[in-house]
Amino acid sequence: MWIAVTGAQGSGKSTVVRALAERLEQLATPVVVVGGIGAYVGSMNFPLGEAATRDTISAFILEHIRRERHAPDMALFDRCLIDLVAYTILQLRDSDPLRLLAVELAQMSMSRFTHVFMATIPPERVNRSSPHESAQFRARFEHALLASAALCHTRLVTLRGTVDERVQAATDTMFKAASGTDPGE
């Protein structure tokens, strides 16, 4: 079972990942957390976020593939390839081969994920910038994530509210799906 939490910078996704891993552990469903890769790519001196270049996007593709190749069967990912597709939607032309490559890889990758959750930007942070992105770019990124999920044939479940509310919504969705009931019921 692979699970991913996605979202704009500053949306609280890493906090949700840690809390969700703890909750799953309490429910006897331990997962290995596969951390985000932004700091790693940034350490190679590639510009991040709004300033990302084609080289940045290439480095992210490589690292996403590497971490998926080494991930165990029970893993909780902080970000996934639909994030990268969202960045390509915002920063590359529709016909750019790098964008097309990202979409193709994401379509293959996302078929392995059983659940993908999007942490929305909390209302108190909507008008704030993150270290690498303006508030306007972050809002555009959230919309691009929805388009990216559609391109990748991925069901994206939106998480809102406090960390506890987000974790509860995620676990409810996972366990309802496992029991065969519709999470929307």
- pLDDT single digits (tens) 148-164: 999 999 999 999 999 99
- Quick one: which of 126, 119, 96, 115 has its CA closest to 154? 115
Please indicate, yes or no, if residue 180 is contained in any of the structural domains.
no
CB 9 within 8 A of CB 49: yes
Q: What sign does the CA torsion over 175, 178, 181, 183 have?
A: positive
CATH number of the domain that 93 lies in? Answer: 3.40.50.300
Please indicate, yes or no, if residue 182 is contained in any of the structural domains.
no
Please indicate, yes or no, if residue 99 is contained in any of the structural domains.
yes
DSSP 8-state class, residue 84: H
Please indicate, yes or no, if residue 94 is contained in any of the structural domains.
yes
Which tokens sit at 146? 């929805």
Please indicate, yes or no, if residue 178 is contained in any of the structural domains.
no
Domain that holds residue 160: 2-173
What's the burial of 184, exposed, middle or buried (CB within 10 Å: 0-12/13-18/19+)? exposed
Please indicate, yes or no, if residue 184 is contained in any of the structural domains.
no
Number of structural domains, the chain? 1
pLDDT at 23 over 60: yes
- pLDDT single digits (tens) 120-178: 999 999 999 999 999 999 999 999 999 999 999 999 999 999 999 999 999 999 989 88
Please indicate, yes or no, if residue 133 is contained in any of the structural domains.
yes
Percent of the chain with pLDDT over 90: 92
Cα–Cα distances in angstroms (integers) from residue 81 to residues 120, 128, 151, 177, in the given order: 17, 25, 12, 23
Please indicate, yes or no, if residue 155 is contained in any of the structural domains.
yes
Type and span of the H or E element at 3: strand 2-6
